[in-house]
Each structure stands twice: as C-alpha cells, then as structure tokens.
Chain A
Amino acid sequence: NAGVTQTPKFQVLKTGQSMTLQCAQDMNHEYMSWYRQDPGMGLRLIHYSVGAGITDQGEVPNGYNVSRSTTEDFPLRLLSAAPSQTSVYFCASSYSILRTGNTGELFFGEGSRLTVL
C-alpha cells in the first residue's frame, strides 16, 4: 500500500495563478482532509470530506476549492494564488469512526510545499 500520496512535493507560483494539489489514498478511507501548516500557527484545517460527493469547509477555506468524485482522490484547488497561501499543505485520511471497530486513526501524506511570489 502506498498510503496517502501527495503531488507535487514542491511548487512555486506567481500571484494570481491557479493550480491543483493532488491527494490520493489507497486504503479505502471514507474521511479525507487538507491542512496547512505555518510557523507559529500549527495545523489548520482547510476542507474535509466524509465520503465521495460530500465536502465541507474547515477553519480556513477561503481561496481554496475541493471536490471528491471518488473515494481515492481529494484534490485541493487554489483559484487565484496569493502570497498568504505560501505554506506546507498536508492531506490526511482515515476510516470513519462510525465504521464498527475503527479507531479513526489519521494518516498523513508527506506534504506539498507551496511558495507564492
């Protein structure tokens, strides 16, 4: 199993450009989420999904879009990049705690480091 795979690992954008960060998991997890990690701010939840076709906003959703057309994939789209979106982005997934016997242990990808100039 590859676990949670994120691409690209590094990306540099100019202000106003758009791009998509890819996230895929091969563990058949219902729950997927995107966090950003900034110095002094910790991990902040951007968007999450509890299953295919279902997404919702986290703490800091502005400037980002998501969709969940399959169980495996959960891409994060930056619509018009701003310097404030310079950060490290992490995708994470888990089984639903509603699934009998599952603890909800969260698994993370290696991260995508984004710089917006």
Chain B
Amino acid sequence: KQEVTQIPAALSVPEGENLVLNCSFTDSAIYNLQWFRQDPGKGLTSLLLIQSSQREQTSGRLNASLDKSSGRSTLYIAASQPGDSATYLCAVLYRGSTLGRLYFGRGTQLTVWP
C-alpha cells in the first residue's frame, strides 16, 4: 500500500530555532514530492515541489530534500518565526499510481512562540 507518514504530528518551538520536519514514503518510484502549508480554516498552499530527479529545493528560509533510496524527505525551516505556525503536509505522486493522484501525509502541526 502506498502510504505517506509525517513525524512528528505536532511540534512547539521558540522563535528563532531551526526546524526539521520529516516525511517518509513507502515506494521509491515517485514522480515528485510536494510540501504544503495549511493555515487554520484555509486551503493548502504549495511551498516546494521536488521532482524525482532532484535532491533538494530551496525557497527563502525553506529547504526541502529528497532521498528516494531511503524513502524520506525533510523540510528544513531556518530561523523560525511565529508566522510560520501552521500545519505542514507532504504529498507524494507515485509512479504507477493513477495519473495525478497524490498521497498525503497527515501533517505536522507547528507552533512557533515568541
């Protein structure tokens, strides 16, 4: 079964800390992996997308890495701020699955306190 797991489920840190959020997937045959942010009561906003041929992607204070052989991706957040508080989800597009169908993890709920 193609699954996506995110650890930890929740994380609470003081402002300024560097963070690592983890995502693991069961099959290394993927097209891409996408990280999303979801604020309470809102939709999902795409943060970073890593294609199968890539090892990492960066956007501002965010860096996402991909290790297909171990079935893992990490989202690194540098110098965290209270505005980073949200739920972060990763989603995997597997090769061989129905075209375009993403498999989502259940997310990591991040709280950054001043």
- Per the 8 Å Cβ criterion, residues 1-59 of A in contact with B are 31, 33, 40, 42-43, 45, 48, 50, 56, 58
Q: Which of B43, B91, B101, B104 has the most CB of A within 10 A?
A: B43
Given contacts A42-B106, A43-B104, A111-B43, contact A106 B99 (CB under 8 A): no
User: In the complex, what distance in Å separates the CA atom of A115 from the CA atom of B91?
Assistant: 27
Asked if B46 and A107 make an inter-chain contact with CB atoms under 8 angstroms apart, the answer reads: yes
Asked if B98 and A90 make an inter-chain contact with CB atoms under 8 angstroms apart, the answer reads: no
Q: Which residues of A lie under 8 Å from residue B42 when comparing CB positions?
A: 110-111
Interface size on A, residues (CB 8 A): 25
Q: A31-B100, A98-B99, A103-B49 are in contact. List 5 more A-B contacts (CB 8 A).
A: A45-B101, A90-B44, A103-B51, A105-B46, A106-B34
Q: Chain A: residues with CB nearer than 8 A to chain B? A: 31, 33, 40, 42-43, 45, 48, 50, 56, 58, 90, 92, 94, 96-98, 103-111
- Of all chain A residues, the one with the shortest Cβ separation from B99 is A50
Interface bin, chain B: 20 to 34
Task: Answer yes or no: B63 CB below 8 A from chain A CBs.
Answer: no
Asked if B102 and A31 make an inter-chain contact with CB atoms under 8 angstroms apart, the answer reads: no
Asked if B31 and A48 make an inter-chain contact with CB atoms under 8 angstroms apart, the answer reads: no
Mask for B20-43, Cβ within 8 A of A = 1, else 0?
000000000001101010000111
Asked if B43 and A58 make an inter-chain contact with CB atoms under 8 angstroms apart, the answer reads: no
Given contacts A104-B31, A104-B32, contact A31 B43 (CB under 8 A): no
What are 29 sample pairs from A and B whose C-beta atoms fall under 8 A apart?
A: A31-B100, A33-B101, A42-B105, A42-B107, A43-B89, A43-B104, A45-B101, A48-B98, A48-B100, A56-B98, A58-B101, A90-B44, A92-B44, A94-B100, A96-B100, A97-B32, A97-B93, A97-B99, A104-B31, A104-B32, A104-B93, A104-B100, A105-B34, A106-B102, A107-B46, A108-B36, A108-B44, A109-B43, A110-B42
CB distance from B33 to the nearest CB of A (A): 11
Asked if A106 and B43 make an inter-chain contact with CB atoms under 8 angstroms apart, the answer reads: no
Given contacts A42-B105, A103-B49, contact A108 B100 (CB under 8 A): no
User: In the complex, what distance in Å separates the CA atom of A108 from the CA atom of B91?
Assistant: 13
